[in-house]
Structure 1
Amino acid sequence: MRLHRNLVFAVIDGLHQIFNENKYADKVVEQLLKRDKRWGARDRAFIAETTYDIVRWRRLYAEIAGAGSHFSRENLWKIFAVWAVMRGIQLPDWKQFYGTPVRRIKGKFDELSRQRIYRESVPDWMDQLGEKELGQETWDKEIAALNRQADVILRVNTLKTNKKNLQFSLRDQDIETTEIKGYPHALKLKERANIFKTEAFQNGWFEVQDASSQLVASLLDVKSGMRVVDACAGAGGKSLHLASLMENKGQIIAMDIYENKLKELKRRAKRNGAHNIETRVIDGSKTVKKLINSADRLLIDAPCSGLGVLRRNPDAKWKLKPEFIEEIKKTQADILQSYSRMVKEGGKMIYATCSVLPSENQQQVKDFLASEAGKDFKFKKENIILASDSGFDGFYMALLEKSK
């Protein structure tokens, strides 16, 4: 591979924004790719994949480069050099690479790889927490799996098409997909591609949604004609899946505290042809009170640490703080206590997170069932998904039923 100056400078600029200005990697990469209209698909792929790769392995590369946690422009170039050397890429004769100690880099990598905090490039506190909650053997496998690049998974929108038709449509644009056993609405891209420019996407034939996430709506056991509340809907990936499972019949009330996310859901719903979704901003306790004892089904896709989706959000390793996890667990408990009141007698509820920590998952459900608010609910089943077992995102979902 030959390094091109303008592409490498774009990566360095992106890393500066992510590490020093605390910007989100996905937003930074999105802006970087708009910098030069002359860049082709390979150029864009280099910028995106290299930026994410260095973010993912930040601690390891910075330690090898001797940068510590000081990400000056000079140190960012050293870190990039480590990335290139570890991939066998010959460094060009640029002043930024003068004096790069290629042999020492390789030796340092071998030395540091004996320690998990460097081998898996993870903060001390996160490594300790993962081992404490999952055990050493499971955490070893899980953090390794969470450091692999995520596949691109599509969910077929059955309101508009089916798997075969979608596959044929994408194949016409040289995008090949494969089915995934056990995931009835999922297709996996064989190679990464800009699928958002395809006619199939513009026509609402699919959404990008990880395979683990697709299991949530299916577990809720919705039927056409039901009233379903998606209480932490966000931009609505699961609301859209619910609409397709309900064949657009019945009512889905998608709620969130962020109005801008619900506006995005409305736009997506229009493209998907999902007509049974109503959005409501949660601007106080009255929003929930109006729906007490009225929902046939309730989905609580709770805010969480996001430790199950580090594959697609590697910068979360460096943005997360231990105190945030403690606070988010209190929020999860409060949401369960309050929102569960919306379920009517005989109705069902799912509590889900994209975390792999039992303290955010099984323990929250156990505590809820032991509380006054949870005394009328019975535990039905749960799905504990580890990235190391499934190959997809880490996820948790528990199905509870309210007594009649």
Structure 2
Amino acid sequence: MQSWQLPEHIADILPTTARQLESAREKLLALFRVHGYELVQPPLMEYSNSLLTYIDAGLSLKTIRVVDQLSGRQLGIRADITPQVARIDAHLLSANNGINRLCYAGSVLHARPDGLLSTREPLQIGAELYGHADVAADIELIDLMLKSMAVADIGEVLLSLGHIGVFRALAEAAKLNEQQSLQLLSLMQDKDADAVAEQVRVWQLDGMWAKALTLLPSLYGSREVLAEARAKLPELSAVSKALDELEAVCNAFAEQAVHIDLSELRVDNYHTGLLYAAYGKDCHDAVARGGRYDGLGAHFGRSRPATGFSFDLRTFIGRLPAIERLPVVMVAQQDAEAAAEAVEKLRAAGQSVIIDYGVEHNGSKEVAGRLKNADGVWQVVQD
């Protein structure tokens, strides 16, 4: 193996793509800012317990760990920024008992890729809202997520909705233990209705709960699914509340294409309620995911209602608008010292100025002119 080769699923980003990504990042952060979301920048590495690897098996498998040579304690390289932002809200911003709107943009590192074509170094961008338990907060975040999708050419966006609360209410009523719930969750995620039916039969659940859990994988489709769910699922207050929240979101986005799936439970273990995702045209997987995760801050000393979304900006590579390299002004090497003041004025005004050493350079095709002295005045002259 050559010494310069990179690990699998790790790649350099070259100038043309880097310009696209950075421009998109700037637009997204500007979008978040005008909606009241303040930028935070958590560290790339923390003590592994702070990254909540001990409460989420999937997150734990993704997290790369090393030993801190200063303290001897185990460090983790973040695989998800959301727990870090929850820590910031719960600890560093605890003086604010009201709403905190926070956003972020930074690289995360995965010990293993999510898929065959996935990178192990996503550029995670997202927004989180803490301190408001009403579905209105979820609607605000969904609106911001959909607006974020406009940075790339992904065509018509499909909003996918689910609610982990429906499954958890049924599992609790059926008196499933934690291991049984996790096992059934896995079958639900695989959309294996026959396997779900067989499993509840083996457990000999009460007929009402067995029927309800077996029904979940079939409750998907357009907005009419909600009426079907109300008619067929048991009358539990938690189920009714979940369906009410889903209906409120549907009403808030009356013109938006919506898909509802009550067995769409592909979430991190810390999610607690409404789930939402955005799918783009010709995209085989969601390009953005989010949901409610009330109480996550309790692990840092302050339990708070919370909702938010995130996505990997690198997913949009190939769909982002082209960002051309800035045209450059050349100044001959022998003139650079004498023209220094003029060069700095041009650069301060946003003009790219480079020194011409007499050899070809990577901006040769974008030369806007040359800085030359005409009657004691440095001026940009067209070639």
Larger radius of gyration: 2
TM-score, structure 2 normalization: 0.25
Greater relative contact order (Cα < 8 A, sep 6+): 2
Which structure shows the higher strand fraction?
A: 2
Larger helix share, 1 or 2: 1
